[in-house]
């Protein structure tokens, strides 16, 4: 994927490069090739995703934008392009902390009623798309989008509760924050939660830091000394 092809595909969209939301960005770089069949994921997610995200597939994530970002981080770190559509509250510092390279992260925070067309256009240009859909989608439109994703090998990660034709569903529950002292002082610096993967086989559950004290996403080896249950 080249910077030129991305610019052409996004010319008519209300899109911003994520890095511009923090500071001036250096020139765009070409994305790197990914392994055939799958997009890479970071080491902390390999227990759930194995070889990676299947190219041309859609995944549903319930309960965590952090997990959406973490799933895209492997592609970003390998030099690929990612995008986020319909997620105006997405924190750029959080995205960078989870491993997203903001120089190759296109953001369309408010696509309006044309969000499905925006996603279809991005599928021509980026490897992984994060989407928070604004409304239900007709089955016919979903089939056309799925065909577009397969044609270009782009992976869609939907943050929501319903999406047809998914490869797998991730459900995030039992979330706890860590970092505060018992008297309430201090900062909530890390969170861990149960992540359940439901797909074609038996469900798999793993407790992950989202993010951990070091900012990364990885399995929890032991519970932190001071934990607060997240208020949902």
**pLDDT, tens digit, 9 for 90 and up, residues 100-158:** 999 999 999 999 999 999 999 999 999 999 999 988 899 999 999 999 999 999 999 99
CA distances from 13 to 38, 78, 151, 217, 224 (A): 27, 26, 21, 32, 44
**φ and ψ at residue 172, rounded to 5 degrees:** -110, 120
Q: What is the pLDDT of residue 24?
A: 39
29-33, 173-177, 198-202, 221-225, range with the lowest pLDDT: 29-33
Question: Would you give the end-to-end CA distance of the chain in angstroms?
Answer: 39
- H or E stretch covering 16: strand 16-17
More confident site: 8 or 201: 201
Task: Say if residue 231's pLDDT is above 60.
Answer: no
Q: What is the pLDDT of residue 32?
A: 37
Which domains can be identified in the chain, with CATH numbers?
A: 3-159 (3.40.50.300), 171-229 (no CATH)
Helices (H), 60-113: 65-77, 92-97
What does the pLDDT look like over 49-105, one tens digit per residue? 998 999 999 999 998 999 999 999 999 999 999 999 999 999 999 999 999 999 999
Name the 3-class secondary structure at 24.
Answer: coil
Q: What is the pLDDT of residue 21?
A: 47
- CA distance linking residue 214 with residue 225, whole number of Å: 16
Task: Say if residue 225's pLDDT is above 80.
Answer: no
- CA distance linking residue 45 with residue 99, whole number of Å: 13
What does the pLDDT look like over 40-50, one tens digit per residue? 999 999 999 99
């Amino acid at each position: 994927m080249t910077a030129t092809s991305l610019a052409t595909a996004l010319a008519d969209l209300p899109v911003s490069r994520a890095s511009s939301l923090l500071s001036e960005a250096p020139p765009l770089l070409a994305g790197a090739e990914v392994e055939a069949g799958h997009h890479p994921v970071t080491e902390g997610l390999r227990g759930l995703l194995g070889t990676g995200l299947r190219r041309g597939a859609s995944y549903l994530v319930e309960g965590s934008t952090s997990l959406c970002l973490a799933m895209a981080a492997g592609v970003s770190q390998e030099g690929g392009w990612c995008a986020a559509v319909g997620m105006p509250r997405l924190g750029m510092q959080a995205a960078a902390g989870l491993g997203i390279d903001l120089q190759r992260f296109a953001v369309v925070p408010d696509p309006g009623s044309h969000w499905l067309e925006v996603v279809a256009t991005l599928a021509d240009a980026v490897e992984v798309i994060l989407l928070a859909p604004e409304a239900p989608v007709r089955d016919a439109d979903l089939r056309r989008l799925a065909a577009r994703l397969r044609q270009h090998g782009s992976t869609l990660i939907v943050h929501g509760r319903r999406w047809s034709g998914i490869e797998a569903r991730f459900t995030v529950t039992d979330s706890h924050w860590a970092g505060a002292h018992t008297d309430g002082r201090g900062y909530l610096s890390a969170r861990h939660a149960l992540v359940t993967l439901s797909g074609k086989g038996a469900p798999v559950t793993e407790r992950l830091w989202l993010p951990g004290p070091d900012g990364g996403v990885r399995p929890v080896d032991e519970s932190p000394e001071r934990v607060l249950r997240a208020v949902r």
